[in-house]
Amino acid sequence: MAHIKTSDSKTASLRVYEQVRNQISVGAHKVGDRLTEGALAEQFGVSRTPVREALQRLASEGFVEVLPHAGALVKGWSQGDVREVFDIRAHLESMAAGLAARRATAEDVAVLQSYCDTMKQLSQMPTRDVPKISEQNRAFHAEILRIAGNRRMADIALNLMDLGFLVRSFTKFDQGNILRSSSDHQNLVEAIRHGDERWAEAIMRSHILAAASIFTGTAEDDAQARMALRPVGTTPPK
């Protein structure tokens, strides 16, 4: 049996990559699960080759860790990992906010304002649609990175941001946190509108470090994450 014709024009590698990535981020694969090439190939109805490529990409982006002959492990996050990622983001994105403040055009500011407004609306609705808020949040940050004009930096920062979704503790974002975050965004728009680099940098820094403290302060639910995690820092390539 050969071809169930997939009207999907993308390559199989990409489809598998996106699917697995999504499965991980919604928790379908828990931390420490072993993803073997054969199993995934069967699940998606493709051969091992595209699965391999997908896993390698996921590994290079930090979502999984491939062990030589033991399957790919879904990576867990220690508090140290969270701290690492948010530290880097705090530096890179505050730099980006500063650049954005210097470079933003009127249209850029308008776009930012619109993202900000949408998020404000969402955050005030009684039922918090956390995934949607999260999406708007990502778009807002991505837009600032775009305006900053350093493509490489944007790629790095966005990847780090997406990695954060591995820690799917959306519940940690209570109403108060969301409102504060939304307010931070509005301040960022103002700082950028006025071209105030220092202010923009400072807001972004505190904005991200605040998010970091939410995670590191209350990281309780993944006991399994910590268990599955080998004492960090030691990737043992022989």
- Nearest partner of 151 among 92, 207, 86, judged by Cα: 92
Written as six digits, the tokens of 41 are 């190939």
Contact region with DNA (CB under 7 A), list: 5-13, 116-124, 151-159, 182-190: 5-13
Q: Is residue 195 close enough to count as binding a copy of itself by CB under 8 A? A: no
What's 92's DSSP letter?
A: H
3 touches, from DNA, a copy of itself, none (C-beta below 5 to 8 Å by class): DNA
Q: Is residue 35 close enough to count as binding a copy of itself by CB under 8 A? A: no
Q: Report in angstroms how near the CB of residue 193 gets to DNA at its nearest.
A: 41
6 touches, from a copy of itself, DNA, none (C-beta below 5 to 8 Å by class): none
Q: Report in angstroms how near the CB of residue 137 gets to DNA at its nearest.
A: 32
Q: Which is nearer to DNA, 1 or 106 (CB)?
A: 1
Is residue 228 a contact partner of residue 73, using CB atoms and an 8 Å limit? yes
Residue 77 zone, left/alpha/beta (φ > 0; ψ -120 to 50; rest) = beta
Quote the CA–CA distance of 36 and 203 in Å, as a whole number.
Answer: 43
Using CB under 7 A, count the residues that bind DNA: 26
Helix, strand, coil tally for the chain in percent (to 5): 70, 5, 25
Is residue 167 a contact partner of residue 25, using CB atoms and an 8 Å limit? no
Q: Is residue 48 close enough to count as binding a copy of itself by CB under 8 A? A: no
CA 119 to chain centre: 18
Write the interaction track for DNA spanning residues 8-27; mark x where CB under 7 A is met and - where it is not: -x-xxx--------------
Identify the burial level of 202 via C-beta atoms within 10 angstroms of its C-beta, where 0-12 means exposed, 13-18 middle and 19 or more buried: middle
Q: Is residue 69 close enough to count as binding a copy of itself by CB under 8 A? A: no
Q: Is residue 29 close enough to count as binding DNA by CB under 7 A? A: no
Write the interaction track for DNA spanning residues 43-62; mark x where CB under 7 A is met and - where it is not: --xxxxxx-xx---------
Query: Which of 24, 37, 77, 184 forms a contact with DNA (CB under 7 A)?
Result: 37
Residues that bind DNA (CB under 7 A): 1-3, 9, 11-13, 34, 36-38, 45-50, 52-53, 66-72
